């Protein structure tokens, strides 16, 4: 009877450890803007990354970028592998890949506070990231 109790306890511990160790990790999107803040005349480089915490490779089909300027909708645009800014469409399990990179020359008309919300459409579903940046005089 004692052996059965020990065996059940060991099996329970193994199951708990397996769930903790092999639990799928999230897919995480992030964006960087450098320099941030930026001034008119500077070129800002935007880089878009995707971290695949899952156990299988995934593909990125497109990124939808929605920009808000001083709190108001400004622009929505879709980027795909046909876009010249595109860098990679596949992300191996456990890896982070730069999916896209673009540059923007800041002019006085764009001075203000910006929010960019990007939705990555992947073979594993959608994931969204937000980045705020400032163009200042």
| DSSP one-letter string for the chain | -HHHHHHHHHHHHHHHHHHHHSPPPPEEEEEEEESSSB-TTPEEEEEEEEEE-SSS-EEEEEEEEEEEETTEEEEEEEEETTSTTB--SEE-TT-EEEEEEEEEE--GGG-EEEEEEEEEEETTEEEEEEEEEEE--
Compute the distance between CA of residue 116 and CA of residue 131 in angstroms, rounded to an integer.
5
Q: What is the model's pLDDT at position 20?
A: 47
The domains of the chain are located at 24-135
Return the CATH superfamily for domain 24-135: Immunoglobulins (2.60.40.10)
Supply the pLDDT for residue 137: 84
What average pLDDT is seen over the chain? Answer: 88
The answer to whether residue 51 scores a pLDDT higher than 70 is yes
| pTM, full prediction | 0.79
pLDDT tens sequence across 53-102: 998 999 999 999 999 999 999 999 999 999 999 999 999 999 999 999 99
């Amino acid at each position: 009877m004692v052996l059965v109790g020990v065996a059940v306890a060991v099996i329970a511990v193994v199951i708990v450890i397996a769930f903790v160790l092999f639990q799928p990790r999230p897919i995480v999107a992030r964006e960087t803007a450098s320099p941030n803040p930026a001034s008119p005349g500077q070129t800002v480089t935007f880089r878009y990354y995707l971290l695949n915490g899952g156990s299988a490779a995934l593909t990125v089909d497109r990124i939808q970028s929605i920009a808000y300027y001083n709190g108001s909708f400004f622009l929505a645009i879709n980027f795909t592998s046909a876009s010249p800014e595109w860098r990679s469409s596949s992300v191996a399990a456990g890896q982070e890949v730069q999916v896209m990179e673009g540059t923007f020359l800041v002019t006085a008309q764009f001075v203000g506070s910006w929010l960019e919300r990007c939705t990555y459409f992947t073979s594993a579903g959608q994931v969204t990231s937000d980045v705020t940046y400032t163009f200042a005089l």
